[in-house]
Amino acid sequence: MRKKLKRIDNIEEGLIRKAAFKLKVRRRDDVYAFSQYIPMSAAKVRRVIDQIRGNYYEQTLMLLELMPYRACYPIFKLIHSAAANANHNKGFDKAYLFILKAEVNKGTTMKKLKPRARGRSYLIKKPTCHINIVLRDMSYFAALREYMQTVPEYEQQQALGELRSEGIDVEEVLETEWYKKEELKKKKEELKKKNGGLKKKWEALNKKWAKK
């Protein structure tokens, strides 16, 4: 049975999606690395990729050297070449490179026939996969963290407001004392509201019991 092709009712929506995809601008502090048609299944590569995602460059190299999987070698080569390109082309320091994104997708499967007895043949499937890795330079955030530690609270608030206006979310990266204090204040206020509601309920119950 042939699969029915999906009909696009609104042609304008499809054109808008294509235009939006083409207009995606890459960040200047990101480095992209792609490796295609690696002779390995995506599941075997994914268990390694999940371990290195969200780590810094030096830490990832150490993890890949210590892990006993065959998939570590092509990933090691890809990350090493991406870091070398970032250092040579953009002048980034390798110590501040952070693995922002790491994906594995299925590729085409190579099919072969193995001759067997009585003129039969068995099918051999050799899967392939594609690896996409994005490295980001975090030296800006390191300098910003040092600056925030030596600045009073009102200047920290001003700097964070400017970054938010530019669309940069840096609260998770900064981990400043001011931000921790703000979180504690919010938690205390929530607890006070909960306790206040419980006190009111308890007083109302006491009044009912007193009337009875």
Query: Tell me, what's the pLDDT at 49?
Result: 92
E strand segments, 47-109:
97-106
Q: What is the pLDDT of residues 8-45, one digit of tens each?
A: 444 444 444 444 443 344 566 788 899 899 999 999 99
Centroid of chain to Cα 118? 53
Summarised one tens digit per residue, pLDDT across range 95-106 is 888 888 899 999
Q: What is the pLDDT of residue 2?
A: 46
Instruction: Provide the CATH number for the domain formed by 28-137 in this structure.
Output: 3.90.470.10
Report the distance separating Cα 153 and Cα 124, nearest Å.
65
Q: Could you tell me the residue ranges of all domains in the chain?
A: 28-137, 139-203
